Amino acid sequence: EAMSAFQYLLVYNSISFTFAAMAAATIFLWFGRSEVAPPYRTALVISGLVTAIAAYHYFRIFQSWEAAFLFENGIVSNTGYAFNDAYRYVDWLLTVPLLLIELVLVMRLSREETVSKATRLGVAAALMVILGYPGEIADSNGTRALWGFLSTIPFAYIVYELFSGLSRAIETQPPQVRSLLKQARLLTFASWGFYPIVYMAPFAGLDGPTANTTIQIGYTIADLVAKVGLGILIYIIAIRKSEIEM
């Protein structure tokens, strides 16, 4: 069945919106760098890198969407060029390790612990993304389920490491920022947990253009929360901690 004009435009405009939001967040975070105390600058640089990389990929996703569908006289048809699902996975391959490094830095562990945690989490993140991709492009729900399951193993490990690590780190923080840090943790888990749920859309009986639209919109919302939402929270935390320490 063909994609409806509504579905086509909803994805089209959501992707354009997200490109603009990612680019704007990048500039905001990088300008914010000079407003905070030196120990928090790296966090803002990295948050801005995450949104910058995402802005690049949303630009490409936009172009790929335009190339894949023809919207003429109110009717959507396929051009024969495939929409490139891989941009999101390539984006995650870069941004998930960066987000993890940021969270590890926030924990302020010893140097050895930082390096070993960052390495283990980075490898797990790469595995998670690489194992998820064959399922994303699979035609059969069985194949999708299999790769999704494999990808969930490193995902569970990441969630466990982060949760226990972050909980301990939050205890050692000044009381004024503890609730903000808890919000950042909540936002991270809620948005990360959203990705595998979106991935499962085809299992809910959705198919064809409806499944595709749901997945595109779902990942887009998750990206906005996980990247822009977290970036703004990290900016606020950095400003507060700078005030306390200065």
Ligand X SMILES: CC1=C(/C=C/C(C)=C/C=C/C(C)=C/C=O)C(C)(C)CCC1
Name the site residues for ligand X (rule: CB under 6 A).
50, 92, 95-96, 99, 128-129, 132, 148, 151-152, 155, 192, 195-196, 199, 223, 226-227
Q: Which of 37, 76, 94, 130 binds a copy of itself (CB under 8 A)?
A: 94
**Minimum distance between the CB of residue 101 and a copy of itself, rounded to whole angstroms?**
11
Among positions 1-60, residues that touch a copy of itself (CB under 8 A) are 9, 12-13, 16-17, 19-21, 23-24, 27-28, 30-33, 35, 38, 41-42, 45-46, 48-49, 52-53, 56-57, 60
Contacts of 218 (CB under 8 A, 6+ apart): 194, 197, 198, 201
Q: Please list the residues that pair with 77 across neighbouring strands.
A: 70
Burial 172-182 (b: 16+ CB within 10 A, else e): ebeeebeebbe
Contact criterion met (CB below 8 Å) for 186 and 178: no
From the list ligand X, a copy of itself, none, partner contacted by residue 165 (C-beta under 5 to 8 A by kind): none
Question: Phi-psi bin for 208: left (phi > 0), alpha (psi -120 to 50), beta?
Answer: left
CA distance 185 to 166: 8
**Minimum distance between the CB of residue 208 and a copy of itself, rounded to whole angstroms?**
17
Nearer to ligand X, 36 or 46 (CB): 46
Does residue 86 touch a copy of itself according to CB under 8 A?
yes
- Residue 72 dihedral angles phi and psi, to the nearest 5°: -135, 135
From the list ligand X, a copy of itself, none, partner contacted by residue 96 (C-beta under 5 to 8 A by kind): ligand X
From the list ligand X, a copy of itself, none, partner contacted by residue 179 (C-beta under 5 to 8 A by kind): none
Element of type H or E holding 42: helix 41-68
Give 20-27's long-range contacts (Cβ < 8 A, gap of 24+).
21/224, 21/228, 22/51, 22/52, 22/54, 22/55, 22/58, 22/227, 22/228, 23/51, 23/52, 23/55, 25/51, 25/227, 25/228, 25/231, 25/232, 26/51, 26/52, 26/55
Stretch that binds a copy of itself, among 82-90, 121-129, 191-199, 217-225 (CB under 8 A): 82-90
Nearer to a copy of itself, 207 or 243 (CB): 243
According to DSSP, residue 3 is labeled P
Q: Which of 4, 65, 71, 130 binds a copy of itself (CB under 8 A)?
A: 71
Nearer to ligand X, 7 or 47 (CB): 47
From the list ligand X, a copy of itself, none, partner contacted by residue 87 (C-beta under 5 to 8 A by kind): a copy of itself
> Could you write out the DSSP letters of every residue in 118-134?
HHHHHHHHHHHHHHHHH
Catalog residues that contact a copy of itself under the rule CB under 8 A.
Answer: 9, 12-13, 16-17, 19-21, 23-24, 27-28, 30-33, 35, 38, 41-42, 45-46, 48-49, 52-53, 56-57, 60, 71-74, 80-82, 84, 86-87, 90-91, 93-94
